[in-house]
Amino acid sequence: VHEQNRTTAHDNTGICMFVGGSGGPLESLVPCTAAARGVAYTIDDFVRIGERTWNLERLFNLKAGLTKADDTLPQRLLKDAHKSGPSAGVVVDLDAMLPVYYRERGWSEEGVPTREKLAERGDDVREGLELDDLRNQPLDFVLGVFDPAAVHDLRNRTMADLATSELERPRP
């Protein structure tokens, strides 16, 4: 989970991780992004932004109709045992792994970010929003889980913009 958050934070900078490392490690992007945006970011801020983005993307995907049933792997990983190495003979037990992953993410058993997880990241969950039934909610209402002022013009905002808005708010 931590590495997913770091990777997502790296992606949020707009520099692809898969171009031979030309963008550099996440730690090298923090001061560059801080200077460009005029915000004193730390590596912990970046990882938190990555987690926040991951939760926002999850909410968006749930709104689009994806469910726990879509959290799967290719059949060859679920049916064929590893042929060599320390995992030789092992078949991925996704049914056992997903509940652990969801708990690590702070999501419900159905793979929905909990109100507590969203609040922990500084996101105000709108009153009346049923997180377990996002498909029946208007998109702006779902994205309003995050600071409504930050999503007023979604056409010109990226996931990274939405996630980083928390760092630009005055801190208590």
Each residue's pLDDT tens digit in the chain (172 positions)? 999 998 888 887 877 777 645 667 888 888 888 888 788 888 998 888 888 888 888 888 887 788 899 999 999 889 999 999 999 999 999 999 999 999 999 999 999 888 888 777 666 665 655 666 665 555 555 555 444 444 444 334 444 554 555 455 444 4
Give yes or no for a contact between 39 and 77, defined as CB atoms under 8 angstroms apart.
no
Spatial neighbors of 81 by CB under 8 A, at least 6 apart, are 88, 89, 90, 91
- Nearest Cα to Cα of residue 107 among 49, 53, 68: 68
Supply the pLDDT for residue 80: 93
- Give the global pTM: 0.71
